[in-house]
Structure 1
């Protein structure tokens, strides 16, 4: 099995600093872009240096404010071992201080994974939790600017706030469709809440998903798979013997059935979203999970999920016909033929179009 370190390089941290500026200080980013344009003009070097000092001062101020907020929440300074960039420090303090106050996490140790949607951190758990480590998934606001076709996943999924309450106002729905600032905030809460609810449902049903252990408006805490030095790598980077590959393939198919039995399709399943560690596997990343009953695209996306899983296992000479496997699993669990399903889904699509036209 290939092990991967979860400590980012210096260059990675430098790249992340740019991303965190984008996430948490949009005005600073705009100023930064204007500043870069000014550098191309002669006679503005002094102004450029002044601009750098101004931005550095602004970042220090933001970090001091985040530390002060942490102090107010916890009664003591939350000073994680992992530091990262200044903007990342601000994000960690703002997102995780409440868990520190509640004696859920004791420290932030390292980055596990940093992507466009979220950053996952390896955290030392507080002794009261009974586990040594936790994973903290902090969502990035920018993710919602990158989901160009997210409407396909959102069909049949109610927009919800951070408390799980359904948003019914037409004004809020318009804000989401226009991707206004308010709309992006609604999407942020809704996708995080959807992932949390899906994880709770599937974990309770016995699926191999990380156990959710806490949340706030920006973060999900969950079971950590790995040890004190390494996080479980994605299945895509793991080499298995053929016997283990056959066992794991059957396990994943069984979990696809559990998802369907609970009315859910993952929506983005592949070997990149399955973690593997010493014989254990966990399926992760559920923000786009959708309702089987309410989303007319569910079967099409389910076939894609199954196909991507089968693509990985081809290297071990496990070569089922993916569309046939998907059809068989669907009909076994859902008790409806795919042909009949297409008629039902066509009617649902027409109904959804009619509602959007309103």
Structure 2
């Protein structure tokens, strides 16, 4: 159909096909079954690998937002900025994979990272039967919105204090809701705490989450700055304790 043709034309260039073949040859992928979403910078496909459902995120090379990517890469000591478009997109995909792994290892509720090849990241599929879980904004009614909000804030805390990362674009558009829990997605832009924008991004993430639940469910407003400063203090205490141990 038209959507498949568009995705095929814009995503399945020679480089992407080679990267997909690597994943098939390694046994990471057995099949690609469905197009989940198609955006300007990436396409997400449903697939199967090692007997389970997976999500296959393909970062587009030709339509990558060069300036936006660099804003989040410059200042992140884990990566060296590049000016070549293809190399930058590969770096962006690598950043997403490493952020997912760091969050997952710290107990943050994110899709489990599985594999990476060039501009393609394979991760756990959140949903069932090739049908993705809804975004938080698409859920008509939550049984216990306060509990869901607090679970998100707890994940923001784990992300900051344990993983040493700030999501950087957290909102009802980048949170899925599945089996009673929220899931953080789209973590390519997540930055380390040493990044010059980390605190302002943390504050923006908190404000968006808090304001969404206040606007839609009428929850009493929690002060985002107070929460952010509490996380900074807790992270500082943790670093101090680790310094004492060494």
Give the match for residue 70 of structure 1. none
State the SS of the aligned residue for 1:112. Answer: strand
Give the match for residue 316 of structure 1. 217
Say yes or no: does 1:298 pair with 2:217: no
**Higher alpha-carbon Rg:** 1
Quick check: 303-312 or 90-99, which moved more?
Answer: 90-99
State the SS of the aligned residue for 2:111. Answer: coil
Distance 1:159 1:143, change over 3 A: farther
Give the match for residue 148 of structure 2. 248
Distance 1:331 1:123, change over 3 A: same
Structure 2 length-normalised TM: 0.84
Quick check: 215-224 or 307-316, which moved more?
Answer: 307-316
Give the match for residue 187 of structure 1. 88
Give the match for residue 95 of structure 1. 19
Alignment root-mean-square deviation, CA: 2.4
Q: Greater relative contact order (Cα 8 A, min sep 6): structure 1 or 2? A: 2
Give the unaligned 5+ runs of structure 2.
238-246
Distance 1:296 1:229, change over 3 A: closer
Task: Check conservation: 2:29, 2:50, Cα contact below 8 A.
Answer: yes
Structure 1 length-normalised TM: 0.60
Q: CA deviation at 1:125?
A: 2.1
The structure whose residues are more often strand, as a share, is 2
Give the unaligned 5+ runs of structure 1.
1-9, 24-87, 161-166, 168-172, 177-182, 337-358
Task: Check conservation: 1:120, 1:138, Cα contact below 8 A.
Answer: yes
Deviations 1:298-342 (A, max 9, x none): 111111111111232121112424433443443342348xxxxxx
Distance 1:104 1:16, change over 3 A: closer
Deviations 1:177-196 (A, max 9, x none): xxxxxx21231122111111
- Equivalenced residue count is 235
Distance (Å, rounded) in 2 between the aligned partners of 1:274 and 1:226: 13
The structure whose residues are more often helix, as a share, is 1
Deviations 1:141-191 (A, max 9, x none): 1343x253444322321474xxxxxx4xxxxx5x52xxxxxx212311221
Q: CA deviation at 1:248?
A: 1.1
